[in-house]
Chain A
Amino acid sequence: MSTALELVFEKTRAENRAALIAYIPAGFPNSLGCERAITALVDAGVDAIEIGYPYSDPVMDGPTIQEAAEISLKGGTDAADVFSALKVASATGVAAVVMTYWNPIEKYGVNEFAQSIADNGGSGVITPDLTIEESGRWLEAVSNCGINPIYVVAPSTSDARLAKVTSKTGGFVYAASVMGVTGARTSVSVDASALVARVKATTSLPVAVGLGVSTREQAKEVATYADAVIVGSAFIKLLLNAKSEQEGLESISALAKELAKGVREGR
């Protein structure tokens, strides 16, 4: 059986466009605020939601997501909050996945975590610091639960290693557009298109580009060569800078609508 995520890519392929995936940490700005943000993003036209599991030591994240994670953790966010945000997202009808560093999964229980993802309508999990070499138990668990194991690859990943990683990946391959941490950037590097091409040489899976996308123009550019565009820090920045919750929701909705146009303009 296909996951909701796989169905999203069938649909966007049929429409000859890229998908738009929005990232929001669970419990940010607070648990109700996160649910409202999810609804606003879905209403504005995103194809999938990626729920972040805030972690105390986020080495892949830049200052924006670090700040959001800190706010969320101070508010007491735990695994139950992550699963309830996931449920809210999947209940809207879009595909929903979780992105988490590995230790919270290990602490929760590898099989139990995968099962809870499935039970709450999740399609898969992005694990940015789990290497293929350490993935044995995880791949067994996701396969038993019928969810997608989504791995991140980087411009520095060799061709041989790309083949090894993508052969274990499900749903889509997450291509980190630059060497660096998360955060909005003024331009998406040329590395990204080259990386996507190298990934596509190893797999027929969709390839999503993340790290640094924040505008309609960038989304359009990435959509010319990638199957999905992932946007996180740009939404979070708007929420952090908003003077009221209402203003924050309106601004992420406006940005999501622009990005949704961008992913349809690439081809």
Chain B
Amino acid sequence: MTIELGDVLGHFGQYGGRFVPEALIGALDELEAAHNAAKTDPIFQAELAELHRTYTGRPSIITEAKRFAEHAGGARILLKREDLNHTGSHKINNVLGQALLTKKMGKKRIIAETGAGQHGVASATAASLMGLECVVYMGEEDTRRQALNVARMKLLGAEVVPVTTGSRTLKDAINEAMRDWVTNVATTHYMLGTVAGPHPFPTMVRDFHKIIGEESREQVLALTGTLPDAVLACVGGGSNAIGIFHAFIPDLGVRLIGLEAGGDGIETGRHAATISGGSAGVLHGTRTYVLQDENGQTIESHSISAGLDYPGVGPEHAYLHDIGRAEYRAVNDDAAMAAFSLLCRTEGIIPAIETAHALAGALVIGKELGPNATLLINLSGRGDKDVQTAADYFGIPL
């Protein structure tokens, strides 16, 4: 199997590329050049590594979830603890890298989109640390669902702009951020929060997250003496998933399984499972799987998890799916919330609701693979931000 990990134009097979207004080409070229230079620049790499060691808290640890595993057919369950990173999720890996690049490019203002608020908080954090101005676009609907994170961003000194167009969720926040970028591109860097968007974003964001897989591959080998049977992660735009998958792509015996948000169920049409329930198209500057109608208009996605509520997905996932190197399944809201509760009660870890989709997948896949299997799961974030949603869901009065 030959696997294409992004050509010079950012293509993964028929996916990826650039579908953007000409006004953005210069900025994308500049970013691509800065990223390519940084990849081989020992000073940049040392700076980023030092930040990860002293600020992010890397390497993140592996926790074996023995009591949770009893519910997963007895398979061995290893959790890669990205929830323990500063700001509470994997998102910090990407924003520190992009913030350093922003400084290298001499720009002083960053803009970001956010759904759950995790990427917005991470962006606001990086901006504060590096003295950059930060504006975060967030769907009005999400500002309600994730009020705590809105307050966190404001405390960190960022401006939060509620987006009132379209479905008022992540997709519309990206539209608004792109409009800002087209207008202010000379002074502003768009700190995109996932492995979607026009080239070089899918490749660059993946490069900043691939440390998750590199660390955990070593950690699992050290712990078990062998590679895991399967690596699992939730998939919204796909950044935490590609981050943990990437180092394992050449290990063809390791199954890579992405769990998408099934919402009320794919058959209801109310879901965010782009690969499982969508079709090839172009959204937000890249060719990938998209939830769209017969005219190519984007269909609004639905998920209990704001961070997975997106009608597109990173082009590398679309490609890994088509060539059969990775599998994608949908997990409904209820199954995700049951797994959320189970991890809380068996391991003393409150996961993000996004992450709970991967945990729900593990309960099923563990049973399929049996007690001799080892499953590595990306615990992409912690659930503090989701306490309100979970309390509502489980009927806990606040």
- Chain A interface residues toward B at CB < 8 A: 55-60, 62, 66, 70, 73, 78-79, 102-108, 128-131, 133-134, 151-158, 161, 165, 176, 179-181
- Chain B interface residues toward A at CB < 8 A: 9, 17-23, 25-27, 165-166, 171, 175, 178-179, 182-186, 281-285, 287, 290, 292, 294-298
Say how far A257's CB is from chain B's closest CB, in angstroms: 31
A131-B22, A134-B18 given as contacts; is B296 within 8 A of A103 (CB)? yes
A57-B175, A57-B284, A157-B26 given as contacts; is B294 within 8 A of A130 (CB)? no
Say how far A116's CB is from chain B's closest CB, in angstroms: 13
Q: How far is the CA of A181 from the CA of B179 in the complex (A)?
A: 6
Interface class of chain B by DSSP: mixed
Q: How far is the CA of A168 from the CA of B33 in the complex (A)?
A: 25
CB neighbours (8 Å) of B17 from chain A are 131, 133-134
Asked whether, in the complex, the Cβ of B296 is within 8 Å of the Cβ of A106, the reply is yes
Say how far B341's CB is from chain A's closest CB, in angstroms: 36
Asked whether, in the complex, the Cβ of B182 is within 8 Å of the Cβ of A59, the reply is yes
CB neighbours (8 Å) of A106 from chain B are 281-282, 296
Asked whether, in the complex, the Cβ of A107 is within 8 Å of the Cβ of B175, the reply is no
Asked whether, in the complex, the Cβ of B21 is within 8 Å of the Cβ of A152, the reply is yes
Q: How far is the CA of A156 from the CA of B21 in the complex (A)?
A: 11
Asked whether, in the complex, the Cβ of A60 is within 8 Å of the Cβ of B182, the reply is yes
CB neighbours (8 Å) of B183 from chain A are 179-181
A55-B297, A102-B282, A181-B179 given as contacts; is B21 within 8 A of A129 (CB)? yes
Q: How far is the CA of A198 from the CA of B336 in the complex (A)?
A: 56
Asked whether, in the complex, the Cβ of A60 is within 8 Å of the Cβ of B171, the reply is no
Q: How far is the CA of A171 from the CA of B182 in the complex (A)?
A: 25
Say how far A1's CB is from chain B's closest CB, in angstroms: 29
Say how far A224's CB is from chain B's closest CB, in angstroms: 24
Q: How far is the CA of A105 from the CA of B127 in the complex (A)?
A: 39
Say how far A66's CB is from chain B's closest CB, in angstroms: 6
CB neighbours (8 Å) of B295 from chain A are 78-79, 104, 107-108
Asked whether, in the complex, the Cβ of A103 is within 8 Å of the Cβ of B179, the reply is no
Q: List 7 A-B contacts (CB under 8 A).
A: A56-B298, A103-B296, A107-B294, A130-B19, A156-B27, A179-B183, A180-B182
Q: How far is the CA of A267 from the CA of B246 in the complex (A)?
A: 61
Given contacts A107-B281, A131-B19, A134-B18, 7 further A-B contacts (CB under 8 A): A60-B182, A62-B179, A73-B297, A107-B292, A108-B295, A128-B21, A153-B22
Q: How far is the CA of A79 from the CA of B294 in the complex (A)?
A: 10
Q: How far is the CA of A11 from the CA of B21 in the complex (A)?
A: 30
CB neighbours (8 Å) of B165 from chain A are 66, 70
Asked whether, in the complex, the Cβ of B21 is within 8 Å of the Cβ of A58, the reply is no
CB neighbours (8 Å) of A180 from chain B are 23, 182-183
A58-B175, A59-B175, A73-B297 given as contacts; is B282 within 8 A of A151 (CB)? no
Say how far B97's CB is from chain A's closest CB, in angstroms: 24
CB neighbours (8 Å) of A176 from chain B are 21-23
Asked whether, in the complex, the Cβ of B18 is within 8 Å of the Cβ of A59, the reply is no
Asked whether, in the complex, the Cβ of B166 is within 8 Å of the Cβ of A157, the reply is no
Say how far A233's CB is from chain B's closest CB, in angstroms: 14
Q: How far is the CA of A154 from the CA of B181 in the complex (A)?
A: 13
Asked whether, in the complex, the Cβ of A103 is within 8 Å of the Cβ of B282, the reply is yes
CB neighbours (8 Å) of A105 from chain B are 296
Say how far A135's CB is from chain B's closest CB, in angstroms: 10
Q: How far is the CA of A66 from the CA of B178 in the complex (A)?
A: 14
Asked whether, in the complex, the Cβ of B22 is within 8 Å of the Cβ of A103, the reply is no
CB neighbours (8 Å) of A70 from chain B are 165-166
Q: How far is the CA of A104 from the CA of B281 in the complex (A)?
A: 9
Asked whether, in the complex, the Cβ of A179 is within 8 Å of the Cβ of B185, the reply is yes
CB neighbours (8 Å) of B26 from chain A are 156-158
Which of B22, B282, B292, B296 makes the CB contact (< 8 A) with A154? B22
Which of A57, A130, A131 makes the CB contact (< 8 A) with B166? A57
